[in-house]
């Protein structure tokens, strides 16, 4: 079986920045094992698989890292929506509905931007049992826990950018990984990074799901409801996020960088 596959750089408007995701628009079903094998072969942080349903405008969407299937992925949803619009699977200005492990997600194009409707991820102030005062040489101002990850607020944007993670220590002390964040000191309200060694992604370039939690964290901490955010990985990426009750609107752009065929 020959399956078209595309690599899309998400949360950026230029190639080789943002977060690359593999996207497969499936004309015919394939198995979960085949999806996992494709994701392992692509070796990107996530590869997304989209299938049509019996209802126009409604699609199933699944995301795989190189090692496992995950519950929620922002950049691969953005990438999938972008490519669906390019390939005529969706139309500009119309809402795309995705059935996922995290419930229904909705995406709508707004010019060159894509606006995604995601669930707000609740966070709870807590003290990490091992990293209570500092994280790899940087002071922790506050910490919070979400379902499978931790958020650590550091003292400055500089600290977030300069932190050198020990992935083995993160793996031992989290179920999935760590989100680090701080107030921005320039054009961005906040900056962040995400380390997910337990899901096969040592450092993710730009992480949509993390910002569903960061929206809740910074809303609780500082009352923010609209945030211009930058994920300070080597590739870097920007997101605009806005709180709407228990939902988060995440806006970003994307660009295609590679098209090909994968043999299954």
Catalytic residues: 46
Contact call for residues 63 and 73 (beta carbons, < 8 A): yes
User: CB-based contacts of 130: which residues, under 8 Å, 6+ apart?
Assistant: 173
Contact call for residues 212 and 227 (beta carbons, < 8 A): no
Backbone angles phi, psi at 132, to 5 degrees: -100, -35
3-state secondary structure of 213: helix
What are the DSSP calls for 14-78, one per residue? STTSSEEEEEEEESS---HHHHHHHHHHHTSSEEEEEEE-SSTTEEEEEEE-SS-EES--HHHHH
3-state secondary structure of 247: strand
Neighbour tally for 123: CB within 10 Å: 25
Q: Is 157 exposed, middle or buried (0-12, 13-18, 19+ CB in 10 A)?
A: buried
């Amino acid at each position: 079986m020959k399956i078209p596959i595309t690599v899309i750089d998400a949360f950026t408007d230029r190639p080789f920045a943002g977060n690359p995701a593999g996207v497969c628009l499936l004309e015919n079903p394939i198995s979960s094992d085949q999806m996992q094998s494709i994701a392992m072969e692509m070796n990107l942080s996530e590869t997304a698989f989209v299938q049509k349903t019996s209802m126009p405008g409604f699609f199933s969407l699944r995301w795989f890292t190189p090692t496992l299937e995950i519950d929620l992925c922002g950049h691969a949803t953005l990438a999938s929506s972008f490519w669906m619009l390019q390939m005529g699977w969706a139309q500009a200005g119309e809402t795309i509905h995705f059935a996922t492990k995290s419930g229904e997600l909705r995406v709508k194009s707004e010019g060159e931007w894509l606006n995604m409707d995601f669930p707000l991820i609740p966070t709870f102030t807590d003290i990490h049992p091992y990293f209570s005062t500092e994280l790899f040489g940087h002071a922790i101002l506050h910490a919070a826990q979400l379902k499978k990850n931790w958020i650590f607020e550091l003292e400055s944007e500089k600290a977030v950018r300069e932190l050198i993670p020990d992935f083995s220590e993160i793996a031992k002390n989290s179920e999935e990984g760590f989100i680090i964040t701080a107030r921005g000191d320039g054009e961005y309200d906040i900056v962040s990074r995400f380390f997910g060694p337990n899901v096969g992604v040592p450092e993710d370039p730009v992480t949509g799901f993390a910002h569903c939690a960061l929206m809740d964290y910074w809303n609780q901490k500082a009352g923010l409801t609209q945030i211009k955010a930058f994920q300070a990985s080597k590739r870097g990426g920007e997101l605009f996020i806005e709180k709407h009750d228990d939902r988060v609107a995440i806006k970003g752009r994307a660009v295609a960088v590679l098209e090909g065929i994968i043999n299954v």
